[in-house]
């Protein structure tokens, strides 16, 4: 006997997209063999308006989450007293923060600007979290004994990346690094706050740089720091477990 169920849903929102596909299969090959399977696909792409610093009417940063989940089972009864269930599956769940901005060779820091930056300065980042699971559980009944035993494995792989700071970031302003600022003697009667505003405007119009920062990352154990390379880290978590137990009735039930 084969039974197949599933569904699909799609939703377009004002701030992104969400859709879902679900499928399930139950298959009885024989009285001794039963197979089941479930697959779920989810996609959620919301707009990240909280990462907006420019003049764009539609946020350039989105949070792309497209997950795939699979669970499959084989239940086997080779004899009336023996049952074995083999189960496995995975959950692939990325969480990506993407941007449609076309970046140049550098960025300007918001701290030195008198106006909103026309470039969205958010750089891509995200993580891919993949979980794999396998389990084999068996039970054996003999007389007053019900023996259960099995083995389980769970592996988690996480790839984390972040491009923040990999582009040079220049701060505009008047500082000890440049001597082209306006002075009170050049503008008789000007107040201290107005002199600061005048120098900030001069730095913005003339492109005077007061400071500069950039992050450097490695691409391998021997690469050294590489210009423009994003921070990329891989994590591995493994869990292995086996068990055995005997439920023993001292007196007949």
Q: What's the rounded mean pLDDT across residues 11-20?
A: 64
Q: Is residue 39 part of a domain?
A: yes
Q: For tokens 């992104």, name the residue.
A: 16
- For 38, the domain range is 2-104+127-163+234-248
Give how many domains the chain has, as a whole number: 1
Cα gap 109→199, rounded to integer Å: 17
pLDDT band at 9 (very low <50, low <70, confident <90, very high): low
Q: Which residue has the higher pLDDT, 180 or 183?
A: 183
Contacts of 180 (CB under 8 A, 6+ apart): 174, 202, 206, 208
Q: What's the rounded mean pLDDT across residues 61-78?
A: 95
Q: Is residue 155 part of a domain?
A: yes
Cα gap 21→8, rounded to integer Å: 4
Q: Is 84 exposed, middle or buried (0-12, 13-18, 19+ CB in 10 A)?
A: middle
Cα gap 57→156, rounded to integer Å: 39
* 8 Å CB contact between 106 and 168: yes
Closest C-alpha among 46, 134, 43 to residue 93 = 43
Q: What's the rounded mean pLDDT across residues 44-71?
A: 92
Q: Is residue 25 part of a domain?
A: yes
Q: Is residue 59 part of a domain?
A: yes
Share of the chain above pLDDT 90, in %: 70
Assess whether pLDDT exceeds 80 at residue 68: yes
Q: Is residue 203 part of a domain?
A: no
Q: Is residue 186 part of a domain?
A: no
* pLDDT, tens only, 95-153: 999 999 999 999 999 988 998 899 999 999 999 999 999 999 999 998 889 999 999 99
Q: Is residue 43 part of a domain?
A: yes
pLDDT at 16: 61
Share of the chain above pLDDT 70, in %: 93
Assess whether pLDDT exceeds 80 at residue 177: no
Strand partners, 74: 35, 86
Assess whether pLDDT exceeds 60 at residue 11: no
Mean pLDDT in the chain?
A: 90
Q: Is 109 exposed, middle or buried (0-12, 13-18, 19+ CB in 10 A)?
A: middle
Q: Is residue 119 part of a domain?
A: no
pLDDT at 18: 76
pLDDT band at 2 (very low <50, low <70, confident <90, very high): low
């Amino acid at each position: 006997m084969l039974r197949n169920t599933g569904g699909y849903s799609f939703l377009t929102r004002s701030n992104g997209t969400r859709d879902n596909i679900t499928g399930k299969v139950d298959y009885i090959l024989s009285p001794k063999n039963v197979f089941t399977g479930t697959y779920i696909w989810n996609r959620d792409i919301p707009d990240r308006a909280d990462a907006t610093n420019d003049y764009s009417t539609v946020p350039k940063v989105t949070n792309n989450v497209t997950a795939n989940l699979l669970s499959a089972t084989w239940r086997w009864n080779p004899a009336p007293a023996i049952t074995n269930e083999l189960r496995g599956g995975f959950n692939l769940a990325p969480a990506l923060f993407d941007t449609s901005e076309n970046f140049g060779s550098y960025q300007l820091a918001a701290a030195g600007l008198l106006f909103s930056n026309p470039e969205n300065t958010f750089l891509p980042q995200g993580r891919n979290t993949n979980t794999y699971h396998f389990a084999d559980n068996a039970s054996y009944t003999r007389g007053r004994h019900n023996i259960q035993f099995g083995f389980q494995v769970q592996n988690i792989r996480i790839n984390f990346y972040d491009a923040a700071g990999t582009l040079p970031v220049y701060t505009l302003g008047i500082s000890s690094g440049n001597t082209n600022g306006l002075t009170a003697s050049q503008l008789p009667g000007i107040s201290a706050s107005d002199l600061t505003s005048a120098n900030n405007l001069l730095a913005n119009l003339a492109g005077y740089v007061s400071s500069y920062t950039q992050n450097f990352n490695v691409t391998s154990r021997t690469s050294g720091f590489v210009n423009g390379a994003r921070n990329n880290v891989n994590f591995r978590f493994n869990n292995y477990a086996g068990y055995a137990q005997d439920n023993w009735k001292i007196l007949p039930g």
